[in-house]
A = this chain, B = another copy of it.
Amino acid sequence: MTAFDPGKPDGANQSLEIGLPNGGSPELGRRYEIPARCGRAVKVQRGQSLKVINPVGFQVCDFWIFNTEDLNEYSSMEHLHTSLLSVMPKVGDGIVSNLRRPLMTITEDTSPGVHDTVIAACDHARYRQLGVEEYHDNCVDNLRQALLAIGHRAPAIPAPFNLWMNVPIQPDGRTAFAPPVSKPGDYMTFKADMDVIAVMSACPQDVTPVNGEGTTPDRLEFQVDAA
């Protein structure tokens, strides 16, 4: 068998062609779009803030953070759970890495604060299991392509921080995929604690109601603001 290569996409979409120039460097204060079903990566320097905007309200954002200096250090949900003693990050919480260092801190959240930190990003294998036979856009390929588009390869597929994704956990451990409770225009702001590359995927899930009931996966927006 061929060894699994975390950096290699299983398929392709527009994500590969919409990389920001100069290795992912944003124009400060400019609003960028993440097209529906796609992913984009952006460099955020220490002290700068990244605002992730949900224009339609029901759109989930799979979110990852990498240390710009060493992509082997990245946001880790299992370390975050230990750090926060919670599976539900909120304003003031630092998103920590697999080396237990804060990468970015949540400074604003206009939504009711329901986000997911326990579910894997959707991928090629997931859609196969859901009965989709042809290639389906997926968050893991969006992560891979968004990094390739700015000159990097994903060294691993970390567990994502799923902004606005609603996965209630019952006392007996059972979970469910429920529609988001966020509203149009909700946004979250993350202040960088070190130089990072943030990757956002507008989740293309349209088989389970992760992105709402009776809705179609839609765009997201983001901007980076000065320190």
Interface residues of A, Cβ cutoff 8 Å to B: 1, 3-6, 69-70, 72-73, 76-79, 81-82, 85-88, 98-100, 118-120, 123, 125-126, 129, 156-157, 159-160, 169, 171-177
Contacts and interface: CB of A to CB of B under 8 A. Distances in A.
Please state the number of chain copies in the assembly.
2
Contacts of A5: 72
Nearest to A79: B120
Nearest to A208: B82
B4 A70 contact: yes
B118 A81 contact: yes
A73 B4 contact: yes
Given A118-B78, A120-B82, A72 B4 contact: yes
A80 to B, nearest CB: 9
Given A100-B125, A125-B100, A172-B88, A76 B1 contact: no
A177 B215 CA distance: 39
B3 A120 contact: no
A118 B120 contact: no
Contact of A99 (B76, B85, B125): B125
Contacts of A78: 77, 118-120, 159-160
Contacts of A125: 99-100
Contacts of A120: 76, 78-79, 81-82, 98
